[in-house]
Amino acid sequence: MENNKTVIPIFFTVDDNYTPFLAVVLSSIIDNCSKDYHYVIKVLSTNVSEENKKKIKTFESEDFEIEFVDLNEYVNTIKEKLYTRDYYTSTTYFRLFIPELYPQYDKAIYLDSDMVVIGDISILYNKRLGKNLIGAVPDQSVYATPEFQEYVEKVVGVDSYKNYFNAGMLLMNLEELRNFKFQEKFLYLLSTVKYTVAQDQDYLNRLTKGRVKLLDDSWNVMPLPSLEKRSERDLNIIHYNHTFKPWHSDKIIYEEYFWKYAEQTNFYEDIKKIKETYSDDQKYSDSKVFNQLVKTCEQESSCVGDDRRSRLLSRNNPVTVNKDPERVKILQRIEKMEEEGIFDVDAEDDPPTIPLEPEDIEYINKHYFNRFKRILANSIGKRYIKSLIKHDLLIIKNVNGIENLKKIKGGAILTCNHFNPFDSLAIEKVFLDHHILWFKKLYKVIREGNYTNSPGMYGFLFKNCDTLPLSSNMETMVKFMKAVETILKKGDYILIYPEQSLWWNYKKPKPLKPGAFKIAAKNNVPIIPIFITMNDSTKIGKDGFPVQEYTINFKEPIYPDQNISVKERAEKMRLENAEVWKNVYEDFYNVPLRYNTKEEFIDNKKEKSKE
């Protein structure tokens, strides 16, 4: 079938016993998906009868293409390595071979067949993964079972059970999985380690650790009796996993959705018969399987030592870590400032500022001695960055969109959110790793007080590491603007924090001030928006808080519009930058950007703006 629409490949793995339930999930996808795409369904299978294939093929249409792919021959080459147990079969491993089997696709969705999809599957497909290997949802059955929690941390080796995902729904970054040599690593791990609990899911969690984007849990909701039932608006995919299957038992949560779509298939009578003939002995056996699974987790966990850093947070033997009271106060101050809508003031008290006079600064070091100090300062800075990385005080987990930086030929303004004194060092580390500093310099705009009032090594670095201090003196600012113009004409980069404030580990983008955008508009250079997102690491800092793992996102350049005035183009660039940051924030954290500013303060700001 030829079609000009964007292709969304969706993979399933089944044997003949599961084709009736494959029909149900296909029916639900068709009923709810956007018609703006062309869906290619690949059913990786063994031993599916021709009759059942024909029944599944009845779902085909102009925009819904279905192909059965027989993997019998492929599996025969490695079947001795594929350990299975209980209701698992060798087909459960098929999803792990998708990247190599389908090099024509860079991205795909994998779904188990014991699901119904009541959301638009194209929304899931269009979620951005960056350099992450997969997108998935934390396993809700692990959240509900302490034995599972201990197992996935101690045996599988995830940092926290909260990061252990269920593999029934996977948004797969096939290109990155191939670059990662995922299949090769999986087969090696399979030959050296045998997981007996969740098998392929455990291998997936082990291999992709640190490169998983955790998605909104509405995309893999389980009908666990211990969890509160959700409203339909909070459901996108329902996963009838473990023994919670409506075609086996009554009173399964969300069973109404399954039967709704089962009725729309030509397997409906077959499915009803499966339920009618499912005996009490079989149901009892199912319950024993789950209990045995819990027991296996306990046995596996008891055989593993307890020397990992995350044991600091162990539920069985907790180690008390006192949080720095000053840091707690700062967080409370940030919360209060957000409530009052005060975003452009530092949350921490700045030292008294000594005014920077024009005769005290040479923005572009022309003298030999100043150039020597610059070389020395940058050398010290590089060693300092290495030390921070070595001791897990600066953790860069992912870098996305570095190609957006490399495509800029001339000078540019880089904008970044400001939440830590080390965030500029994280950007500098990326520049070093990608050899960008071989061709361009990176200048950093800093506060006046940091330049004039910082003692010791920090003062030396602030004064000599390609910094551009602002000043309360107007004559000094004239020199600043001339230096900025020269730097941009030479084709170098200038890093500016347009939020105009530092809020420690604050994840949301704050409202942007116009200064950076006025500079870009006046000098006719692009803005490169950088937004750094964060996750807790297992490293606990001296302040008692987890050190953050950074994902540094370099977004598409924003160019000045030559058809409008300098003032108008600056404002347009500011608004575009704000929208880019908002999208990155919402996409990464899977929550809408909302501030906790109280209405009374919003109203006061509106009144002042009118005055």
Task: Return the CATH number at 14.
Answer: 3.90.550.10
Phi-psi label, residue 474: left if phi above 0, alpha if psi -120 to 50, beta otherwise: alpha
How confident is the model at residue 406, as a pLDDT? 78
**Which of the two residues, 539 and 240, has the higher pLDDT score?**
240
pLDDT of residue 196: 63
Q: How far is CA 307 from CA 156, 172, 311, in A?
A: 14, 32, 7
Shared domain check, 87 and 18: yes
pLDDT on residue 2: 47
Residues 59 and 98 placed together within one structural domain of the fold: yes
Q: Do residues 95 and 183 touch, judged by C-beta distance below 8 A?
A: no
Confidence of residue 279 (pLDDT cuts 50, 70, 90): confident
Amino acid at 360: D
Asked whether residue 120 is domain-assigned, the answer is yes
CB of 9 closer than 8 Å to CB of 105: yes
Q: What are the distances in angstroms from CA 37 to CA 65, 103, 169, 242? A: 11, 20, 20, 32
Q: What is the pLDDT of residues 436-468, one digit of tens each?
A: 877 888 999 988 777 777 666 666 766 767 888
Shared domain for 283 and 334, answered yes or no, is: no
Residue 232, in any domain of the structure:
yes
Q: Which CATH number characterizes residue 392's domain?
A: 3.40.1130.10
Strand-pair partners of 212: 134
Domain that includes residue 500, residue range: 326-351+367-593
Summarize the confidence of residues 345-367 as an average pLDDT: 78
pLDDT for 51: 94
Q: Domain total for the chain?
A: 2
Shared-domain flag, residues 256 and 332? no
- In this prediction, residue 81 has a pLDDT band, given cuts at 50, 70 and 90, of very low
Residue owning tokens 């021959």: 73
Q: Which helix (H) or strand (E) holds 326?
A: helix 325-340
Q: Would you place residue 600 in the very low, low, confident or very high pLDDT band (cuts 50, 70, 90)?
A: low
Phi, psi torsion values for 609, nearest 5 degrees: -65, -30
Kindly tell me if the per-residue pLDDT of 312 is higher than 60: no
Q: Does residue 356 fall inside a structural domain?
A: no
Query: What is the rounded end-to-end Cα distance, in angstroms, of the chain?
Result: 63
Q: What is the pTM of this model?
A: 0.53
pLDDT of residue 237: 97
Confidence check: pLDDT of 85 > 60: no
- Chain mean pLDDT for the chain: 84
314 within domain boundaries? no
Q: Which residues pair with 414 in a beta bridge?
A: 495, 528
Same domain for 301 and 330, yes or no, is: no
Q: Are 408 and 472 found together in one domain?
A: yes
65-72 mean pLDDT: 87
Residues 189 and 298 in one domain: yes
442 and 569 inside one domain:
yes
Angstrom distance (rounded) from CA 187 to CA 82: 9
pLDDT tens, residue by residue, 178-188: 999 998 888 77
User: Helix-strand-coil percent breakdown of the chain, rounded to 5?
Assistant: 45, 15, 35
* Mean pLDDT, residues 552-578 taken together: 95
Claim to verify: residue 32 and residue 102 sit in the same structural domain: yes
Supply the pLDDT for residue 83: 42
Residue 102 near residue 108 (C-beta atoms within 8 A): yes
- Residue 603 covered by a domain: no
Q: Is residue 362 domain-resident? A: no
pLDDT of residue 32: 96
Burial of 271 (0-12, 13-18, 19+ CB in 10 A): buried
Q: What does the pLDDT look like over 48-59, one tens digit per residue? A: 899 999 999 999
Highest averaged pLDDT of the listed ranges 38-52, 104-118, 146-160: 104-118
pLDDT, tens digit, 9 for 90 and up, residues 482-512: 999 999 999 999 999 999 999 999 999 999 9
Q: Take residue 59 and report the two structure tokens written for it.
A: 């779902």
Answer yes or no: is pLDDT of 223 > 50.
yes
Q: Can you tell me the distance from the alpha carbon of 92 to that of 113, in angstroms, rounded to the nearest whole number? A: 11
> 279 and 222 in one domain?
yes
Domain boundary among 308, 343, 375: 308
Q: Specify the higher pLDDT residue, 287 or 222.
A: 222
Is 359 within the bounds of a domain?
no
Among 155-159, 164-168, 379-383, which is the least confidently predicted range? 379-383
How many residues are there in the chain? 611
pLDDT higher than threshold 90 for residue 65: yes
* pLDDT the model gives residue 60: 95
H or E stretch covering 27? helix 19-32
Please indicate, yes or no, whether residues 272 and 336 belong to a single structural domain of this protein.
no
* pLDDT > 90: percent of the chain: 45
Q: Is residue 574 pLDDT above 90, yes or no?
A: yes
6-10, 297-301, 326-330: least confidently modelled range:
297-301
Higher pLDDT, 137 or 321: 137
Pairing of strands 115-117, 237-239: antiparallel
**Residue type for 200, please?**
D
User: Do residue 262 and residue 337 come from a single domain?
Assistant: no
Q: Which residue has the higher pLDDT, 402 or 519?
A: 519
- Please state, in angstroms and as integers, the Cα–Cα distance from residue 192 to each residue in 78, 187, 261, 281, following that order: 14, 9, 42, 37
Backbone angles phi, psi at 2, to 5 degrees: -100, 140
The whole-angstrom separation of Cα 209 and Cα 157 is 9
Confidence band of 318 (pLDDT split at 50, 70, 90): very low
Task: Find tokens 């991205």 and name the residue.
Answer: 107
pLDDT of 436 reads 81
For residue 398, pLDDT over 80 is answered with yes
Question: What tokens appear for 554 in the block?
Answer: 């370099």
Structural domain contains residue 358: no
> How far, in Å, CA of 587 to CA of 499, rounded?
20
How many helices and strands (H and E) does the chain possess? 23, 16
Portion of the chain with pLDDT greater than 70, in percent: 85
d(CA 11, CA 171) in angstroms, rounded, equals 10
